[in-house]
Amino acid sequence: MIVTAQPEATEAGACVLMRGGNAVDAAMAAALVQGVVDPQMCGIAGFGTCQIYDPYRNLHRTIDFHGRTPLAAREDMWAELLEGEVRIGFGFILKGRVNDIGYQSIATPGSLLAYYEAAEQFGTWDWKDICAPAIEQARQGFRVRPHVQRWWTHGAEEGQVDNIERLAFSETGRSIYFRPDGGLKKIGDRVENPDLANTLERIARHGAAIFYSGEIAEEMTADIQTNGGLLSIEDLRAYRTVHSDPARGSYRGYDIFTSNPPGGGLQLIEMLNILENFDLASLGHNTTQYIRILCEAMKAATVDKDKFIADPLFVEIPEFLTDKNYAAAIANGIREGRRITVPRLTRPEARDTTQVCVVDGDGMCVSMTHSNGMPSGVIVPGLGFMLNGCMGVFDPRPGNPGSIAPGKSRFSAMCPTIVFDNGEPCIVIGAPGGTQISMGVMQAILNVLDFDMTMSEAVSAPRFSATSDAIDIANRIPNYTMEPLIKEGYAVTRSASSYTIAGVHGISRRNGRLCGGADPGLDGMALEV
């Protein structure tokens, strides 16, 4: 089974599985297609994290491919430009928006190297064959889907650059995303990008080396340097992914394997540790008290994330964050009515991310979350892909865990996760959704484990989040459920969307049967083959 947020990517991965490829082959083929049909959400110049479990090789690894600050970056280079912080965290607003759009917002990308390494080390197919579906898709183009168009037309929030500005920033963007009359393309319009097809063909022939030290690296960095960017060819040549064991926790006897820092896995483990102290099933799903307890756990984990979690190469991560006794103490405070405050300067990480989950016939599992962050808008002439905008989330204030430093990765809430029951995987899950990713993944896991939902039901249920002092809720949560909390002084922000708070996608296995769930708020689907 394969689940992604784009039908084209799901179908591409399913075809790989049907032709004998394993879960990694399918996941990487799907990921490359995702970068073609959802080019602001992800792509070869993005970043992310991937978890791979292979029972036959007794292998369980994560590949972290977070973006890294260029070596020319300095801790205080933007300190005097600071204007504010987004309400729900994980992003800063600077004068001139230099961290949010344009050439200075680009960090060293990791996605293509991770796709290539995963395929070479854990896949069974030839790299050229894995690239072939994306090349074909790029040659034929794609039709604008509702979720793509919705993101394109989503206005700027809390000081962020408007998405239409990102699409129109480069000459290529203006030519492929807009109609001849200058209007933005609409649902059903075809987007054709032959430059991207040509680039993918070059990558299929030469592997990742052409991107990190060869001709594409030279073309990319020449344009960036000419236009005042920080990224250099030395950054690309020095880039390395991080292969490691997954972070590990537990919840009611289930083993939780998830992403390491600077990913959001420790946040997920901390929240589950706190919630293990409550009988959630007896409270009832999405009842007033259930929402209050989960939101306080979310706020506690958010405060700890802001204080302690960053790139472990630069910051020492305290072990107590995943300690059960530490979580129990927080749970006791919540039980006694404690209300946790999340300090903020006055912007969420953009939800410009996507997800792929795969389980193959041999039990191999892959969960990968990858992203362009807040995309920079930069498309190097002739190359066809938009570069990431990772720099927008770094703290411009020196001396903090998330501050800028040369070669540093910033925190991301990405937490591709695999849950085991008695040594066998029972949930493969992950989500896009910026700072709210771990909140959405956590709720879907609870829906399966505490409320016995299928994965389809679990990802479709309305969600909420608290990464600030306000509670953000989907529009399908009734007002009468929230009114008691409002009376207690909680601020509640209701989304206009019925589906919000991360786009969770996952696969569950129960009684030998697979169930796939694609968040109905996006355009994706699950296919069993």
**Does pTM top 0.85 for this prediction?**
yes
Question: Mind spelling out the 3-state secondary structure of 4-40?
Answer: ECCHHHHHHHHHHHHCCCCHHHHHHHHHHHHHHHCCC
What range defines the domain where residue 307 resides? 246-346+414-521
If pLDDT is split at 50, 70 and 90, which confidence band does 159 have?
low
CA 394 to each of CA 96, 132, 153, 248: distance values in angstroms, whole numbers, following the listed order: 16, 36, 26, 26
Question: Strand, coil or helix: what is 517?
Answer: strand
Q: What mean pLDDT is reported for the chain?
A: 94
Q: Is 112 left (phi over 0), alpha (psi -120 to 50) or beta?
A: alpha
Rg, C-alpha atoms of the chain: 21
Q: Which of 62, 353, 354, 500 is catalytic?
A: 353
Q: What is the pLDDT of residues 193-246, one digit of tens each?
A: 999 999 999 999 999 999 999 999 999 999 999 999 999 999 999 999 999 999
C-alpha–C-alpha distance, residues 499 and 150, integer Å: 13
Q: Is residue 421 part of a domain?
A: yes
Is residue 183 included in any domain, yes or no? no
Active site residue 288: no
Domain count along the chain: 2
Same domain? For 340 and 374 the reply is no
CA distance to 37, 54, 458, per residue, from 498 (Å): 24, 37, 15
Q: Which of 330, 364, 393 is the last residue of a domain?
A: 393
What is the C-alpha separation between 34 and 12, in angstroms, rounded?
10
The percentage of the chain sitting over the pLDDT mark of 90, rounded to a whole number, equals 87
Q: Determine the pLDDT at residue 345.
A: 59
CA separation for the pair 178, 180 (Å, rounded): 7
Check pLDDT > 60 for residue 343. yes
> CA 62, CA 461: separation in Å to the nearest integer?
29
Domain shared by 231 and 313, yes or no: no
Confidence tier at 352 by pLDDT (50, 70, 90): low
> Is position 172 within any domain?
no
370 and 436 both lie in a single domain: no
Task: Note whether residue 169 is domain-resident.
Answer: no
Q: What is the pLDDT of residues 315-336, one digit of tens each?
A: 999 999 999 999 999 999 999 9
